[in-house]
Structure 1
Amino acid sequence: MSNKVIIRNLKDIDRAAREFLSLKQERQVVALYGAMGAGKTTFIKAICSALGVPDSVNSPTFTIINEYRSGEGKPIYHFDFYRINKLEEAFDIGFEEFVDSGELCLIEWPEKIEQILPDNCLKVHISVLDDESREITF
């Protein structure tokens, strides 16, 4: 991990999302690691906003996947694997097809499916600092 973005408060999150998008290069599969409440969903909302998604962005905790459209009409897939118990559940929703689509895939709780993440997956770590700001490294 060679990039670091600090979010001091929620006002910083849109700037941080734009900065992240400019640094992520061409990698389309993004795995977001962080403790419960670290800000994974909030950061994904900011990324989607920066990409022009007009819809409300919410964590798909129960549905496992949400699909959005960027301002350019490109699909964005948002996964939340928090509630899965078996790797087969990821296969059941067609995870590999989404990843192979070449479209942006944003993944919360990737620890649950680590074995099937592609080699070129961009791993993003969100940490809560002592002053409650967030450090995003990738």
Structure 2
Amino acid sequence: MNVNYRLNELDTVVEQLITNLNGKTILLYGEMGVGKTTLVKALVKALGSKDEVSSPTYSIVNEYELINDKIYHFDLYRIKDIDEAYNFGFEDYLNSTHWLIIEWPELIEEIITDDVNSVILSLNDNNTRNLILK
């Protein structure tokens, strides 16, 4: 999946994204300010949560409730190494059956093995964004 979009088209893009996912783990890649957290807000809403979404930069993980599930939203920007992820129990989250949406996943890629969806976001010169699902 490769989509070029404007922010006012994000809800439609997220619906397309959800139908193309092969599992419940989503790794979000992109430069600072490209719209990763904005995408997470749209994803959480589209999955059915009524919770307020905010960036977990300082808390590292936020939890959002669904009717029969949960979404764990991680921002690993401040994580220095994989040991720090182990120390806050990241493996426990990986072993759950819940949704995992992970911003800045580079340091933990080696411990994520199954049904991973990599989403790469980029900002274009004309203020559109590009989303690639791998």
- Please, what TM-score do these two structures have when normalized by structure 1? 0.90
Larger displacement relative to structure 2 (112-121 or 15-24)? 112-121
Q: Residues 79-90 of structure 1 correspond to what in structure 2 (within 5 A)?
A: 79-90=74-85
Structure 2 equivalent of residue 131 of structure 1:
126
Residue 54 of structure 2 aligns with an amino acid whose one-letter code is N
Whole-angstrom CA distance in 1 between matches of 2:57 and 2:113: 22
After superposition, the C-alpha distances for 1:40-77 in whole angstroms (9 at most, x for unaligned) are: 1100100001112111101100010001012x241000
Whole-angstrom CA distance in 1 between matches of 2:112 and 2:31: 19
Residues 5 and 20, structure 1, Cα contact 8 Å, conserved in 2: no
Whole-angstrom CA distance in 1 between matches of 2:62 and 2:51: 11
| SS in structure 2 at match of 1:38 | coil
| SS in structure 2 at match of 1:118 | coil
Residue 78 of structure 1 aligns with an amino acid whose one-letter code is H
Whole-angstrom CA distance in 2 between matches of 1:100 and 1:5: 31
Residue 97 of structure 1 aligns with an amino acid whose one-letter code is D
Displacement of 1:119 in angstroms is: 4.3
Whole-angstrom CA distance in 1 between matches of 2:107 and 2:93: 17
Matched, 1:51 2:47: yes
| SS in structure 2 at match of 1:112 | helix
Whole-angstrom CA distance in 2 between matches of 1:64 and 1:113: 13
Matched, 1:98 2:93: yes
Residue 98 of structure 2 aligns with an amino acid whose one-letter code is E
Q: Residues 17-96 of structure 1 correspond to what in structure 2 (within 5 A)?
A: 17-25=14-22, 27-70=23-66, 72-96=67-91
Q: Which runs of 5+ in 2 are unaligned?
A: none
Displacement of 1:117 in angstroms is: 2.1
Residue 42 of structure 1 aligns with an amino acid whose one-letter code is T
Question: Of 7, 11, 15, which residue of structure 2 is paired with 1:14?
Answer: 11
Whole-angstrom CA distance in 2 between matches of 1:11 and 1:32: 20
Whole-angstrom CA distance in 1 between matches of 2:68 and 2:129: 30
Percent identical pairs in the alignment equals: 41
**CA RMSD in angstroms, aligned pairs only:** 1.2
Whole-angstrom CA distance in 2 between matches of 1:24 and 1:34: 18
Displacement of 1:114 in angstroms is: 2.2
